[in-house]
């Protein structure tokens, strides 16, 4: 058995039967918090994402690893089990008996057909918390549909809100439905573990890509359910605040946000504009005249380069920023200061840098705070990397 890992979930054992992204992301979140996460994979092939690329690290030979897999499986161990083999199914039963949490994202009904329905799991371990993630929900008229992120982004309305305009819907640049479902799933697991302390019993937590995306509709949801207005994609400008978005300047662009009338007045004072001009005096008026606001500001910015413009906006106290490329983000000293890059030692690839966990922890004390954030992380596992160790442990 591996050594205990530090973190709020130290001592919690998670059995991760998931593949692709939503479930593995939930498992990685729990692992980041100190849980022991054992990833169960198919012999020979493993998680589908092991083959998703390019890019690959070591593109040729047995040591090849996909950067996609590396993105969502840190702080886990890997054991290979064939769930159609009786001996391996017995090993999984023993894992379930010892586990606190089981994660699965099979199509609804699949786990039951393999002999591990929720009734069986509860009989094996009444304290087990099971997280089950599906594409569109586990019941309802379309509950049996397979879940793929881009399809869910479209079906759940997100693509209709994303892109340069209503006639050009766009997917978000990462599989946001998968990621959100994983986040909501981990959140549900933590709540169920907390409730188990009171009741002594586990329960089943269910979410879906559909539910996760609808869960973040935010003001676009209530614009329809309460206000009767259907939101549409409108590029890089906020539908309810103006000015708030991306503005062209000499040789580039900047983003700025005037979320209050005071900020609007500061912006106007800095660039010699009239905040009380006809049709621009209130946020509601500016939203109704958004094209006029954009034109006014882009004319004011036309002879100012991005860095100089950002400096003037900062001096005026107007929130603003640049659009960074991914490589620029990971080179940014602010990113590094937040622990968002971690170094790990991979079994076949050696020393790697990975994006780090987004949470930090601090213990307050009389002399100030002491950071207790976990510093050491385990690299994503090679396929079956813990087979011998885990099989020996389960049969001991």
Give the catalytic positions in this structure: 178
Q: What are phi and psi of 372, to 5 degrees?
A: -115, 10
- E strands, 184-312, are 204-208, 244-249, 252-257
Please check whether residue 218 is in contact with residue 231, taking contact to mean a CB–CB distance below 8 angstroms.
no
Q: How many Å apart are CA 344 and CA 381, to the nearest integer?
A: 11
Three-state secondary structure string covering 278-311: CCCCCHHHHHHCHHHHHHHHHHHHCCCCHHHHHH
Contact assessment for residue 320 and residue 310, using Cβ atoms and an 8 Å cutoff: yes
The span from the CA of 68 to the CA of 190, in Å, is 26
Residues belonging to the chain: 396
φ, ψ for residue 62 (rounded to 5)?
-65, -20
Question: In angstroms, what CA-CA distances link 225 with 162, 166, 177, 229?
Answer: 19, 20, 21, 8
Question: Is the separation of the CB atoms in 209 and 156 below 8 Å?
Answer: yes
Rounded Cα distance between 109 and 24, Å, is: 19
Residue 214 contacts residue 242 (beta carbons within 8 Å): no
């Amino acid at each position: 058995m591996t050594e205990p890992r530090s973190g709020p979930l130290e001592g919690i054992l998670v059995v991760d039967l998931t593949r692709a992204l939503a479930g593995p992301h939930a498992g990685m979140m729990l692992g980041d918090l100190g849980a022991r996460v054992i990833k169960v994979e198919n012999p020979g092939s493993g998680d589908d994402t092991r083959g998703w690329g390019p890019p690959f690290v070591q593109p040729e030979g047995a040591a090849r690893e996909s950067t996609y897999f590396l993105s969502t499986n840190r702080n886990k161990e890997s054991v290979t089990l064939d769930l159609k083999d009786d001996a391996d199914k017995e090993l999984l039963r023993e894992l379930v008996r010892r586990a606190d949490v089981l994660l699965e994202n099979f199509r609804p009904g699949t786990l039951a057909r393999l002999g591990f329905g929720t009734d069986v799991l509860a009989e094996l371990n009444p304290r087990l918390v099971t997280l089950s993630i599906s594409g569109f929900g586990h019941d309802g008229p379309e509950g049996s549909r397979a879940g793929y992120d881009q399809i869910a982004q479209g079906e759940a309305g997100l693509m209709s809100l994303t892109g340069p305009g209503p006639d050009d819907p766009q997917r978000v640049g990462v599989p946001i439905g998968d990621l959100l479902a994983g986040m909501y799933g981990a959140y549900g697991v933590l709540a169920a573990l907390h409730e188990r302390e009171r009741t002594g019993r586990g329960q089943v937590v269910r979410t879906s890509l559909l539910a996760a995306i609808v869960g973040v509709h935010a003001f676009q949801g209530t614009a329809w359910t309460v206000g009767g207005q259907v939101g549409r994609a409108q590029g890089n400008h906020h539908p309810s605040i103006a000015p708030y978005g991306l503005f062209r300047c000499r040789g580039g662009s900047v983003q700025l946000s005037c979320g209050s009338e005071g900020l609007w007045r500061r912006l106007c004072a800095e660039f010699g504009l009239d905040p009380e001009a006809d049709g621009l005096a209130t946020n509601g008026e500016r939203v109704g005249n958004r094209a006029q606001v954009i034109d006014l500001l882009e004319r004011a910015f036309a002879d100012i380069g991005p860095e100089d413009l950002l400096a003037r906006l900062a001096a005026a106290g107007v929130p603003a920023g640049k659009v960074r490329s991914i490589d620029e983000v990971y080179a940014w000293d602010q990113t590094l200061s937040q622990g968002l890059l971690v170094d790990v030692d991979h079994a076949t690839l050696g020393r790697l840098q990975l994006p780090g966990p987004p949470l930090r922890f601090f213990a307050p004390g009389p002399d100030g705070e002491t950071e207790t954030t976990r510093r050491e992380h385990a690299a994503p596992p090679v396929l079956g990397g813990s087979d011998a160790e885990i099989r020996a442990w389960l049969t001991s």
